[in-house]
Amino acid sequence: MNILALKLILAPLIIGSASLAGRRWGPAVSGWLVALPLTSGPIIFFVAVSEGISFAARSALGVLSGGISVVIYAVVYPRLAARFPWQASITGSLFAFLLSTLFFQNVELPFWLVSPAVLLSITGGLSRMPDEKVETGNATLSRWDIPLRILIGTGIILLITGIAPFIGPRLTGLLATVPLYSTILVIFAHRSHGPAAAGNVMRGLLFGLFAFTGFFIVLGLLIERASLAVSFGLAALTALAVQGTSLFILRKLHG
């Protein structure tokens, strides 16, 4: 119930703030914002409290592995969006995410291999992103635009939370990376401003994944060696430092 309540509180806050940020600073910044481990981090914390440190460490490794699946999802969407509408684009990108998740559910790579692999995949993903200007001037956003995003996101959160206790540590970690918020943001960006805006959401997501990866690398190194306060505290400080740097770079490139 603690995790459920936390998700139900975080979902509206994250989706709403990211949507407002997207309106103010553009779709790339909204994608960057939702990459922070604001859901996956607390999930691992409560797993550590309720199931033990060893369980949480395996889940954290699953989350880190899931970062590669998110990169694949982010790269596939704009490729499909260049040719197809948002319905086909999101279906294809989520299917790619699912295939990658199934792979990592059955192939458990060690921490020392997963960590650089995630960083390399993010860098490679950014190099594969299209760089097109966002269409402007034709989109009209209604008053129910952001509330609808929040309702959709909260409904999916309820579904995922309902099945999480039955799937074990590895899959718990992998499913913690389900790109719920970015899916909502990219659909609305695609519908409102076209495929270039959707690509900017995914580019921002990839920039934000550096902080996500930094968080779970530090957590993976410390969670079985230090207290929860120290391990999560240092992981959060690392994520914030990396996130600030990535935002500076993102704004310089796509401000």
Could you write out the three-class secondary structure of 138-180? CCCCCCCHHHHHHHHHHHHHHHHHHHHHHCHHHHHHHHCCCCH
User: What values do phi and psi take at 136, rounded to 5?
Assistant: -130, 160
Q: Average pLDDT in the 205-218 region?
A: 94
pLDDT for 216 equals 96
In Å, how far are 74, 187, 210 from 131, measured between CA atoms? 14, 18, 20
* Confidence at residue 1, expressed as pLDDT on a 0 to 100 scale: 47
Q: Which of 20-24, 101-105, 140-144: highest mean pLDDT?
A: 101-105
Work out the mean pLDDT of the chain and round it to a whole number: 83
pLDDT(124) > 70? yes
* Spatial distance between the Cα atoms of 143 and 124, rounded to a whole number of angstroms: 38
Give the pLDDT score at 133: 58
pLDDT, average across residues 177-187: 86
pLDDT top residue among 54 and 157: 54
Using pLDDT thresholds of 50, 70 and 90, give the confidence band for residue 234. very high
pLDDT, tens digit, for every residue of 78-94?
Answer: 999 999 999 999 999 99
Cα gap 181→229, rounded to integer Å:
27
The model carries a pTM of 0.83
